[in-house]
Every structure is written in structure tokens, then in C-alpha cells.
Amino acid sequence: MTGNTAFDPTVPPSGTGCVECEATQGWWFHLRRCALCGHVGCCDSSPGQHATAHYKATGHPVVQSFEPGEDWLWDYAEGDVRESGPNLAEPTSHPESQPVPGPAGRVPADWVSLLHR
């Protein structure tokens, strides 16, 4: 598995939503946080798949779920789930009041049919 050089536990998340989706007024299904730089991107089921795009652009190999109650990690370099890693800076998820999918007001009525499976 990728070593601790994939983590910077001092860096806070970039925000409460996907950076790229927020910039384009898009929406997401679930969120993932880069364990190295804090970039918050949307999961591969989301239309934008921005967390994976961030990995491909930067080489930052590990993301952590940014969903409330989840702390698992995905290692892109190894193609494997990690059960644990260093504790990352707070907050460790988007606010519980933020709906899934999100954000409120931007999710289309036919969102299920737009997910990547």
C-alpha cells in the first residue's frame, strides 16, 4: 500500500462540496477528500467523477470518504480499500444537514438515471 507520503493530516478539506461541481453549479452523489491536499471531489458514481480526475491530474493516491459516519480510504495507486490511516484535520465529512445527493437545490429530479454504475 501507498505509504504515509500520501497523507498530510494538517490540511483541512477544501470545502463542504465538490470543488469542480461547485464551480460549475453541478451536483454530486457522494464526496471524497484527498488525504494529501484536502481537495474535495465527487465519487465515481457522480456525473463529474472529480475525485478520480484529481488523482489523475495530481498523482495524490489516497482519498477518504467525506460522508458522515464513514472513515474508509481508497488507494488509487494500489486499487484497494484501506480500513484506516492517519486522522485528518477536521471536519472529516460534509455537514450532516447537507443532503445526499447534493447540494440542495441543484440535484435534478432524474438524478438516479444520471449516475455512473
User: Considering the chain, what is the average pLDDT of its residues?
Assistant: 95
Say what the alpha-carbon torsion angle 66, 68, 71, 73 is, to the nearest 10 degrees: -30
Structure confidence by residue, pLDDT tens digits, 71-86? 999 999 999 998 888 9
The per-residue pLDDT for 18 is: 98
| pLDDT, average across residues 3-7 | 81
- What distance in Å separates the CA atoms of residue 56 and residue 50, rounded to the nearest whole number? 10
Query: Taking the complete model, does pTM exceed 0.85, yes or no?
Result: yes
